[in-house]
Amino acid sequence: MATKQRGRPRSFDRETALEKALRTFWEQGYETTSVSDLTRELGIGAPSLYAAFGDKRTLFAEVLQRYAVSYGAFGARAMDEEPTARAGVERMLREAAAEYTDPSHPHGCLVIHAAVNCATPEVEQTLRDQRNANIASFEDRIKAAVASGELPRDTDAAALARYVGAVLQGLSQQSRDGATREELEAVAEMSMRAWPASEPVGSTH
C-alpha cells in the first residue's frame, strides 16, 4: 500500500541530512553543488530529497537558516553580549578567525563562499541581502555608540560598518586560501587599530 513515505529509507534522519547538505553547500558553493552531489552526500535518492526538502533552492534557504543559528551565530552573539561596540567587533573578528579555520567543518563563511560564481539571481540576491543586513546591524550598533558618547560624534558609522564587513569577508576568503587562525587573529588585531578613539570624558567638541 503506497504511503507518503514511499521512496524514503526508514533510516532517513532529516536533521542529519540537513547538516550534510549545509556542509556540501559550504564546501562547494551554491551553483556548483548539483542535486546528484546532494543525493550522494545525503545517501538518499532524488525523490526522497524532493519529498523532504523541496527543490535545491528551497533546501538552500533552509540551510541558510540553520547556518545563521549555528556556525554563523557568533557575530550577532558577540555584538549583543559585549558592553561596547568596539568590544563586540573585536570579539566578533577574533571568533571569526577561529570559526573560519575550524578543522571540523569547511573553512570560511557559508554566506560569503556560496555567492562565488552564483548565477541564480534569486539566490544571489538572498545572499547579498543577508550580507547587507549584517552591515546594517553593525551600523546601528555604531550609531548607538556615537549617541552614547562611546565614539566621537564625527564618526562615519556607515563607512565604519562597511569596513568591519570588508574585514570579515577578507578573513573568510583568506581562510579558504589556507591562512591559519593565528594569521587571521593578527589581521583582526591590526584592523582594530583603525577603530576611532573614544570620546574624552567631559569633551565638549
Percent of the chain residues topping a pLDDT of 90: 82
Q: What pTM does this model have?
A: 0.87
Q: What is the pLDDT of residue 64?
A: 95
Mean pLDDT value across the chain: 91
Calculate mean pLDDT across residues 107-112.
95
Asked if residue 111 has pLDDT above 50, the reply is: yes
DSSP state of 73: G
What are the chain's domains?
A: 14-67 (1.10.10.60), 71-194 (1.10.357.10)
Instruction: Tell me what percent of the chain is helix, strand and coil, each rounded to the nearest 5.
Output: 65, 0, 35
**pLDDT tens, 153-180?**
999 999 999 999 999 999 999 999 999 9
DSSP state of 12: -
Amino acid at 7: G
**pLDDT tens, 10-65?**
466 889 999 999 999 999 999 999 999 999 999 989 999 999 999 999 999 999 99
DSSP state of 31: T
Q: What is the pLDDT of residue 197?
A: 85
Q: What is the pLDDT of residue 91?
A: 98
Q: Please, which residues have CB within 8 angstroms of residue 132's CB and are 6 or more apart in sequence?
A: none
User: How many CB atoms sit inside 10 A of residue 131's CB?
Assistant: 17
Of 68, 43, 50, nearest in space to 6 by CA: 50
149 touches 84 (CB < 8 A)? no
Burial class, 80, CB count within 10 angstroms (exposed 0-12 / middle 13-18 / buried 19+): exposed
User: How many CB atoms sit inside 10 A of residue 86's CB?
Assistant: 18
